[in-house]
């Protein structure tokens, strides 16, 4: 894939841009194998490749320029807006909406936030697209006074873009390097975006995390389900469950599944999806994973973990080691922290491993391993 923005030096976010995709994929798998080299019992399944372009179903665009001529993209070293509306890794349906979104910003009268001067109101626009082409659009603004301005453009925006199903204003008053704030104001009758991922439909609320590469996320969940079904456990826990991707795929007659996630928004999304899918034996609870396992009673027959980049941490890895759970499915977005966690779980051996290229054009990827507890000596 070639990118005119990258070639012109305007954006270097995609650090592997221009590197042949086959080479990217081979290097990522070689890196993961090296990091997990101590686990020579692993059978590596073929890496799951992504589309090279148009794979991002979620775009986080910094708003720059002026209300009359807004830019959607990133900021340069001086804090000026760099317009990236034709970014090739963004899904075509989102790219096609950017011009109408820029027109809506102009109609709102909201001035983009000037980072060096610390003035202005509109900071970011976050757009998520479902597999069915519907959009969720979130305007990240500085103050509550700006919510009315966003609300004033909703009808015209939906007229210009009928595929826009959810519009919100997110409040981020602080001057800090984060994309969104804690408070969300929903401005449409709908507050969730149904997203078909793999073999289930997730119900995504505005602040719920969802994988940006829908096709690869689906492959990841299906592989997890295949490993789970091969074991046929009667009880499964899914830690760091997010909106329920692994938990909902793990559902089966006679199997009780519990998902645990620290985000109330994500748990509400997961519960809504389970209800819509008619899965009464799949439950979700709000809680910190490390704290929750200590008070949850008897351990499950199979555990799924999908932690953030920092990994499980020593405390949770130690709990898993002492729990004697027979089988663990560990999905990791950072093979280095995965390797570190496995050092704290010496009773488990990696039987299968697979790389999923969730983030083409970058050095990041997802690695999932199947862990089986070694028989007691």
> Per-residue DSSP letters for 331-352?
EES-HHHHHHHHHT-TTEEEEE
What are the tokens at 256?
């009780």
353 DSSP β-pair partners: 44, 369
Strands (E), the chain: 43-44, 58-65, 70-75, 81-83, 122-129, 135-141, 164-171, 183-186, 193-197, 200-204, 235-239, 256-261, 282-286, 302-305, 327-332, 348-356, 366-373
- Half-sphere exposure (Cβ direction) of 351: Cα atoms closer than 13 Å: 14
Other C-beta atoms within 10 Å of 143: how many?
10
What b-and-e string marks burial along 248-264, b requiring 16 or more CB atoms within 10 Å of the CB?
bbbbbeebbbbbbbebe
Radius of gyration of the chain from its Cα atoms, rounded to whole angstroms? 22
What are the tokens at 21?
């995709």
Identify whether the C-beta of residue 246 lies closer than 8 Å to the C-beta of residue 222.
Answer: no
Give the SS3 label for residue 291. helix
Enzyme catalytic residues: 333
Identify whether the C-beta of residue 257 lies closer than 8 Å to the C-beta of residue 282.
Answer: yes
Cα–Cα dist 170/51, whole Å:
31
For 309, list phi and psi in degrees, rounded to 5.
-60, -30
For 113, list phi and psi in degrees, rounded to 5.
-70, 125
| CA 296 from centroid of its chain's CA atoms | 26
Strands (E), 176-286: 183-186, 193-197, 200-204, 235-239, 256-261, 282-286
Cα–Cα dist 330/369, whole Å:
5
Cα–Cα dist 114/341, whole Å:
42
């Amino acid at each position: 894939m070639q990118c005119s923005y990258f070639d012109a030096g305007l954006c270097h976010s995609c650090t592997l841009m221009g590197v042949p995709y086959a080479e990217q994929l081979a290097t990522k798998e070689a890196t993961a194998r090296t990091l997990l080299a101590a686990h020579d019992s692993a059978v590596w399944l073929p890496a799951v490749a992504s589309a090279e372009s148009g794979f991002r179903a979620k775009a986080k665009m910094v708003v720059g320029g002026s209300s009359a001529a807004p830019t959607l993209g990133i900021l340069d070293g001086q804090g000026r807006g760099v317009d990236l509306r034709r970014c090739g890794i963004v899904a075509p349906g989102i790219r096609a909406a950017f011009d109408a979104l820029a027109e809506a910003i102009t109609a709102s009268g909201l001035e983009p936030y000037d980072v060096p001067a610390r003035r202005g109101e509109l900071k970011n626009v976050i757009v998520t697209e479902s597999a069915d082409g519907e959009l969720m659009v979130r305007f990240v603004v500085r103050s509550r006074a700006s919510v009315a301005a966003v609300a004033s453009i909703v009808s015209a925006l939906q007229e210009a873009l009928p595929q826009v199903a959810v519009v919100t204003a997110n409040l981020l008053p602080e001057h800090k390097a984060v994309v969104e704030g804690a408070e969300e104001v929903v401005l449409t009758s709908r507050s969730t975006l149904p997203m078909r991922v793999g073999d289930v439909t997730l119900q995504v609320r505005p602040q719920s995390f969802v994988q940006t590469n829908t096709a690869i996320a689906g492959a990841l969940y299906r592989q997890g389900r295949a490993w789970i079904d091969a074991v046929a456990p009667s009880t499964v826990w899914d830690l760091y469950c997010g909106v329920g991707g692994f938990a909902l795929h793990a559902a089966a007659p006679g199997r009780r599944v519990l998902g645990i996630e620290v985000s109330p928004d994500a748990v509400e999304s997961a519960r809504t999806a389970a209800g819509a899918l008619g899965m009464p034996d799949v439950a979700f609870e709000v809680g910190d994973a490390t704290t929750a396992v200590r008070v949850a009673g008897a351990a499950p027959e199979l555990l799924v973990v999908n932690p953030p980049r920092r990994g499980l941490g020593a405390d949770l890895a130690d709990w898993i080691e002492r729990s004697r759970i027979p089988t663990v499915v560990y999905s990791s977005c950072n093979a280095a922290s995965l390797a570190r966690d496995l050092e704290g779980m010496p009773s488990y051996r990696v039987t299968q491993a697979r790389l999923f290229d969730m983030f083409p054009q970058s050095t990041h990827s997802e690695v999932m391993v199947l862990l089986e507890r070694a028989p007691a000596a």
